[in-house]
Chains A and B, each alone.
Chain A
Amino acid sequence: MVECLTGKKVLMKGNYAIANAAVIAGCDCYFGYPITPQSEIGEFMSGKMQELGRAYVSAESELAAINMCIGACSTGKKAMTSSSSCAISLMQEGLSYATSDELPIVLISVMRGGPGLGNIFPSQGDYNQATIGGGDGDYKLIVLSPSNVQEAIDLTYKTFYLAHKYRNPAMLLADGLLGQMMEPVEFGKYPYAEIDNSSWALSGAKGRNPRIIRSYSPTEGPQCEHIRHLFDKYKQLEENEVMYEELYTDDADLLVLSFGSLSRNVKAAIKQLRDQGMKIGFFRPITLFPFPNKRLNELSRKVKKFLTIEVNMGQMVRDVRLAVNGNVPVEFYGKPVGSWPSVEDLQTAIERAMI
């Protein structure tokens, strides 16, 4: 069993690292149902949470897990669940409810192959599931996408922070590759301030008026107002919380975009092509919602062409096209599922886009 280490470098698997970071972030309750390739998260939590006197429930289904999160978050506790692709599908109703209820659920999604049961190989096929979602109504999840194990830890902390700061479910969108790989990491302390929830948590009504948390509003006016309130938060997120990584954009003719762990392969391909004198820039959105629309729009006025690379049939590319709003052509290169394209394959694809 891995210990909660701070300030010491240790070689750790992505899934364990995320779980350990969640514990350090102060997660009070974990509810989950096993699925490859993220089962190590539940396995770690089953031991560690008990050891620390916190709550761990092996839920009877993913549906139950997400609804347990709703219950626990309502009381002001930090609750999380973790799952993958086809099982995240089962949580969509709960996420829509939690968004309307303004509950800071933390959800770890470790992508595998889809659609349907798919397979257990890595994939990026759940970009749409994460950023658009399958629940009803106008809602958004906060979505953060790490590219290596250290960043998976840092962004797990951030996922907890943003969920609580904005009272909105937040997702860490990792993939099977990241979940299964081991890399040297350091944890450090949870770097964010605790968010006061005393104004809304259902913490017992002794000595104060009772409160209610619900997503149901029988009249038109208050419901409109409620949704506008949610979208005010999304606007604030877009103004204040956008994160991205960019390289070589000063002189680039072609800007290549990619998210998650795949972006490392893409970056390596670009570095080699730049050594050959090709003017190629690199861009990686770290927050998938809020998406870096503003920065991409700026770049679309300097660069001649965009190329988006994903291990799916073209999902983030739609957001990129919306962001550049027709200023430049946006091409796509990808494959549906499985091992990431090699650096050599990516070089060929990028060179082709340069023509």
Chain B
Amino acid sequence: MEKNFVIAGFGGQGVLLAGEVLANAFMIDNKNVTWYPSYGAEMRGGTVNCEVVMSDDEVSSVNKRETDFIIVLNQASFDKFENKVKKGGYLIVNTSLAEKKQNRADIHYVFAPISEMAEKLGNVKMANMLALGLLLKASGLLSVDILEKALDMVLPPHRKNLLPLNKNAMEIGYKYDLFALNC
């Protein structure tokens, strides 16, 4: 089995970090995994994304034409990636910063006000970890436990104090009723 994930948003929303945490989680789960950042002349405030590919076998490629799971944290990313979701795949949309719109009938949409939920928790910067919780629920591929371990591995020592709040964010994302707002 090989599955790929794209996380996209503004520079500064923690998109690359979220990808790194996800990739570490797959590593802990003994999968093969590759993380690859969007690449080019990027700038703060511009759009940024990264792709994570997990596989039971050797990871075959990155920059895939279609993606199983995509998180879009802003409107620009929604516009860019809606068409890249594989048929039957998932698009997880941060409705705080992107319109709640469904232009396709052949994919699953998950709408959640990710930024607002993170802000309520205490810091909008946790939107990325909250989104990972949502992704985990949608994909059913990993447990929150492993994700929390992965975050612990990625955070440098002087940032470990942020661990409890971010774990909380992941759990809130994981417990979110994915399709409640969808009908």
Contact = CB atoms under 8 A, between A and B. Distances in A.
B23 interface: yes
Nearest to A122: B39
B40 interface: yes
Interface of A: 9, 11, 37, 120-122, 148, 176-177, 180-184, 264-265, 267-268, 339-340, 342-344
A342 B84 CA distance: 14
Given A11-B33, A183-B35, A264 B23 contact: no
Nearest to A121: B39
Given A11-B153, A182-B35, A264-B60, 19 more contacts: A9-B27, A11-B24, A11-B35, A120-B40, A122-B39, A176-B39, A181-B34, A181-B62, A182-B23, A183-B34, A184-B27, A264-B59, A265-B60, A265-B61, A267-B60, A342-B61, A342-B63, A342-B64, A343-B60
Q: Report the contact-size class of chain B (Cβ under 8 Å from the partner).
A: 20 to 34
Interface of B: 20, 23-24, 27, 32-37, 39-41, 58-65, 153
Given A9-B27, A11-B23, A344-B65, A182 B60 contact: no
Contacts of B63: 339-340, 342
Contacts of B61: 264-265, 268, 340, 342-343
28 contacts: A9-B27, A11-B20, A11-B24, A11-B153, A120-B41, A122-B39, A148-B58, A148-B59, A180-B36, A181-B34, A181-B36, A182-B20, A182-B34, A183-B34, A184-B27, A184-B32, A184-B33, A264-B60, A264-B61, A267-B58, A267-B60, A268-B60, A339-B63, A340-B62, A342-B61, A342-B63, A342-B64, A343-B60
Given A264-B59, A265-B60, A180 B39 contact: yes
B60 A183 contact: no
Contacts of A122: 39
A342 B51 CA distance: 14
B39 A120 contact: yes
